[in-house]
């Protein structure tokens, strides 16, 4: 018996168990390093770890650059994950190929039940870390990055693939700060009925802060439309530096979502077009929520037009002809704010969108969406 009244046998047993866990962890690391070494990878540091999976950095001797290796231990993983989610993830990762999606270089499995997924490394970290460090983005920077993300989602949706876990933590940044969509752990290929209609999903996927109201309510949902809500949350975070809803109180959050309340901080001075796009993606009515082509064709998503300069030319008869560039947009504003929108309701201002005002422009093809991102100094904002 110790001075604290704890039986010595219990302490001894506890110490033995801790020692076993430490040795098991060290052995596992040595084992992973040996396996990767045989495949031509020199294992580096730890990038993340869960109950049955971890992500390591490694240097590829063949590719001559660093990669990320996701290691999944089948012995520790739940049966539902092994039977449903892992096969889907492996199938989709092996087939997707888009410059705004993390590349998968190799997938292999060992005889002891470990799956190794070798992927492109997001050397600049993820979008959440970036925004926590730099703060809210200016709209022109956010537009370029968001277009890259939307190009990846369009590629997936056109292939009947849905992500179902879109969030800032799953958006990695390469050396040039280009968006790279990652983590397809909840992704799936869509199935359709005899009439070609998409069969709704019932599985709750993703994080509550990014989840659409129909998902939070446990209503069978159209997965593509679910992805669109999450995109709206992501764009809000990019330009505001904070979450659109407080997920510490799910019931209150759901009520605000269903009432279509979106509060935009006045200090951010967001353009009406930017607020309109976010508001339309955070639409609780799934029949009215924007699809990916609608987002890509939205006025805010179009590249800014170059500044126009007035010119004067002399015609043959000696008369001068002055040509003025039109600085005004060819469309009406997508958003009209009524006096109601300026009033505070439960701490949130409400944005009123006029129905049928303005037309969406032409759809921008994803191939034209890889803009170089030049990063300015952002304001520091807590998230």
pLDDT in tens, 97-134: 999 999 999 999 999 999 999 999 999 999 999 999 99
The tokens describing 74, both together, are 């089948």
- Structural domains of the chain, ranges and CATH numbers in brackets: 8-120 (3.30.200.20), 127-306+329-368 (1.10.510.10)
CB 188 within 8 A of CB 218: no
d(CA 177, CA 175): 6
Give which of 155, 190, 172, 182 is closest to 296, Cα–Cα: 155
Annotated binding site: 70
Residue 310 CA to residue 85 CA, distance in Å, equals: 59
Q: Give the pLDDT confidence score for residue 319 in this predicted structure.
A: 54
Instruction: Write the CA distances from 109 to 70, 73, 114, 205, 237, integer angstroms.
Output: 11, 10, 6, 26, 38
HSE, CB side, 13 Å, CA atoms: give it for residue 316. 0
Give tens-digit pLDDT for 202-243. 989 889 999 999 999 999 999 999 999 999 999 999 999 999
Name the pLDDT band for 304 (thresholds 50, 70, 90): confident
- Please report the sign of the dihedral spanned by the C-alpha atoms of residue 162, residue 164, residue 165, residue 166: positive
Alpha-helix residue ranges (DSSP H) falling in the chain: 8-38, 79-80, 86-93, 127-134, 139-158, 213-216, 223-240, 250-258, 272-281, 292-297
Give 195's pLDDT tier (boundaries 50, 70, 90).
Answer: confident
Per-residue pLDDT at 196: 86
Q: Is 254 helix (H, G, I), strand (E, B) or coil?
A: helix
Largest CA distance in the chain: 113
Residue pair 105/121 in contact (Cβ under 8 Å)? The answer is no
pLDDT digits (tens, 9 = 90+) for 29-80: 569 999 999 999 999 999 999 899 999 999 999 999 999 999 999 999 999 9
Catalytic residue check, 372? no
Q: Which of 126, 165, 227, 276 is catalytic?
A: 165
């Amino acid at each position: 018996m110790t001075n604290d009244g704890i039986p010595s046998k219990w302490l001894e047993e506890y110490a033995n168990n801790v020692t076993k866990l430490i040795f098991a962890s060290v052995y596992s690391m040595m084992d992973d390093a040996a396996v990767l070494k045989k495949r031509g990878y020199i294992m580096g540091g730890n990038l993340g770890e869960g109950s049955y999976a971890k992500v390591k950095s490694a240097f590829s001797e063949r590719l001559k650059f660093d990669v990320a290796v996701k290691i999944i231990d089948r012995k520790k993983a739940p049966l539902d994950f092994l039977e449903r989610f892992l096969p889907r993830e492996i199938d989709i990762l092996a087939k997707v190929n888009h410059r705004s999606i993390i590349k998968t270089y190799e997938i292999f499995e060992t005889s002891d039940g470990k799956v190794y997924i070798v992927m492109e490394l997001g050397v600049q970290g993820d979008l959440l870390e970036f925004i926590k460090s730099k703060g809210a983005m200016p709209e022109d920077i956010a537009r370029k990055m968001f277009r890259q993300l939307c190009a990846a989602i369009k590629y997936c949706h056109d292939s009947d693939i849905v992500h179902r876990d879109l969030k800032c933590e799953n958006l990695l940044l390469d050396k040039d700060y280009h968006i790279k969509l990652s983590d397809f752990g909840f992704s799936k290929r869509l199935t359709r009925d005899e009439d070609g209609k998409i069969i709704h999903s019932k599985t709750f996927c993703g994080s509550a802060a990014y989840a659409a109201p129909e998902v939070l309510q446990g209503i069978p949902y159209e997965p593509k439309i679910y992805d669109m809500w999450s995109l709206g949350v992501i764009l809000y975070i990019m330009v505001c530096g904070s979450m659109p809803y407080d997920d510490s109180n799910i019931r209150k959050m759901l009520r605000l979502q269903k009432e279509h309340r979106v509060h935009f901080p006045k200090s951010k001075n967001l353009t009406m077009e930017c607020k309109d796009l976010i508001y339309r993606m955070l639409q609780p009515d799934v029949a009215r929520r924007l699809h990916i082509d609608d987002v890509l064709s939205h006025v805010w998503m179009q590249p800014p037009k170059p500044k126009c300069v007035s010119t004067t030319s002399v015609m043959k008869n000696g008369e001068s002809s002055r040509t003025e560039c039109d600085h005004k947009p060819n469309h009406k504003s997508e958003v009209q704010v009524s006096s109601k929108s300026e009033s505070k309701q439960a701490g949130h201002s409400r944005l009123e969108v006029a129905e049928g005002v303005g037309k969406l422009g032409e759809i921008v093809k994803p191939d034209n969406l890889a803009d170089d991102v030049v990063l300015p100094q952002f304001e520091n904002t807590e998230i």
